[in-house]
């Protein structure tokens, strides 16, 4: 693009609040991968997203491979062989209930050798909302991919109570060991979106050498007013039963709990000082933070914090909260390049 020209584009994607657009000039001087037009901070985030349809243990102990949980992995008899790869469904038993999981290109007999990418979903997420990203990620990187619904989400069992202010660390301390043991995973790559990015950070911190790399997309690693404002708007939107009903196809009768677990926890006084800065400072594996500069749920400072101390931050111009959907091709290429450089 000539230096003296600017591009004008219109792009619709989910952001918080009411559905509306604005035309934004994309400066050629901004370092970006793909100039786009961002919509303003007033677009219904998850509602628009859902309408589109489905598409601890310590590091040393884990590295020695000593199981500390008696878990059962129930593989579904139904396995779908697509033209791309094998998709399997799984049920993983935990003390609080059963988790629903899916795997792409996973071969149990190679568990001791393969390094799967484990996906951690966002605050309203579940496996169908990843759409085609897991399959495309497996194809792009050559690594198996595993995703699971946290308790209370998607097709996993209901959560037995309310989320604590320490729920992000709790997920990695209490639940991830079940997933790793059930699949027989020795080494893995942690990849998370939104609050799932913070869970991926905790995984890289707590499992040390067993976690070969950390990848985040639109992650939050501390509380800031931009995030809270987006959550307040979403809370107001989902007070409308018609808007809440859009989540039923993904979470069924758990939809109200899912929304409240997100909004009430983040807006609580107990959560106001939450951050993972200390954990980030102690992570030694390679780090990639992908973040859109139009993300209404977090500034690019989150990516900077994650990438500090030899990590890599990729800021996408005009991209909002869901990089893997708003620019899947570029996101996949970034992850592929990043993983190919891991030794």
pTM (2 d.p.): 0.78
Q: What is the pLDDT of residues 281-304, one digit of tens each?
A: 999 999 999 999 999 999 999 999
Domain boundaries, the chain: 45-340
Rounded CA separation 129/236 (Å): 22
Q: What is the pLDDT of residues 219-240, one digit of tens each?
A: 999 999 999 999 999 999 999 9
Rounded CA separation 179/198 (Å): 18
Number of neighbours of residue 146 by Cβ within 10 angstroms: 25
Cα separation values, 178 from 101, 150, 162, Å: 12, 12, 20
Output the pLDDT for position 48: 44
Q: What is the pLDDT of residues 116-173, one digit of tens each?
A: 999 999 999 999 999 999 999 999 999 999 999 999 999 999 999 999 999 999 999 9
What angle is formed at CA 40 by the lines to CA 324 and CA 234, rounded to 5 degrees?
Answer: 75
Burial track 1-12 (b if 16+ CB lie within 10 A, e otherwise):
eeeeeeeeeebe
Rounded CA separation 202/32 (Å): 29
The DSSP annotation for 247-306 comes to: GHHHHGGGHHHHHHHHHHHHTSGGGTT-B-HHHHHT--S-EEEEEETT-TT--THHHHHH
- Stretch among 15-24, 46-55, 177-186, 212-221 having the lowest mean pLDDT: 15-24
* Arch. (CATH architecture) of 45-340: 3-Layer(aba) Sandwich (3.40)
Output the pLDDT for position 66: 30
């Amino acid at each position: 693009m000539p230096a003296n020209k600017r591009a004008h584009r219109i792009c619709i994607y989910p952001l918080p609040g009411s559905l509306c657009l604005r035309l934004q000039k994309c400066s050629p001087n901004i370092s970006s991968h793909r100039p786009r037009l961002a919509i303003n901070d007033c677009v219904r985030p998850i509602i628009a997203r859902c309408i589109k349809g489905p598409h601890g243990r310590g590091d040393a102990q884990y590295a020695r491979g000593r199981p500390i949980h008696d878990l059962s992995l129930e593989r579904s008899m139904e396995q779908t062989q697509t033209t791309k790869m094998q998709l399997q469904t799984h049920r993983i038993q935990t003390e609080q209930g059963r988790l629903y999981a899916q795997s792409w290109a996973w071969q149990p007999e190679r568990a001791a050798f393969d390094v799967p990418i484990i996906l951690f979903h966002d605050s309203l997420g579940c496996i169908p909302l990843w759409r085609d990203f897991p399959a495309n990620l497996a194809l792009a990187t050559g690594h198996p991919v595993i995703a699971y619904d946290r308790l209370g989400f998607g097709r996993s069992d209901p959560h037995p109570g309310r989320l604590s202010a320490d729920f992000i660390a709790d997920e990695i301390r209490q639940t991830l060991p079940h997933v790793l043991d059930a699949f027989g995973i020795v080494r893995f790559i942690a990849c998370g979106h939104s609050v799932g990015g913070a869970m991926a950070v905790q995984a890289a911190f707590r499992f040390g050498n067993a976690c070969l790399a950390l990848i985040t997309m639109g992650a939050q690693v501390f509380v800031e007013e931009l995030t809270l404002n987006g959550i307040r708007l979403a809370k107001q939107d989902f007070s409308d039963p018609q808007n809440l009903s859009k989540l039923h196809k993904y979470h069924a009768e758990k939809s109200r709990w899912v929304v409240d677990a997100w909004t009430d926890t983040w807006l609580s006084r107990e959560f106001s000082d939450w951050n993972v800065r200390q954990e980030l400072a102690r992570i030694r594996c390679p780090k990639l933070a992908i973040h859109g500069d139009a993300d209404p749920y977090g500034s690019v400072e989150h990516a900077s914090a994650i990438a500090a101390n030899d990590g890599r931050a990729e800021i996408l111009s005009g991209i909002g909260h869901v990089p893997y959907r708003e620019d899947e091709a570029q996101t996949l290429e970034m992850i592929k390049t990043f993983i190919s450089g891991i030794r």
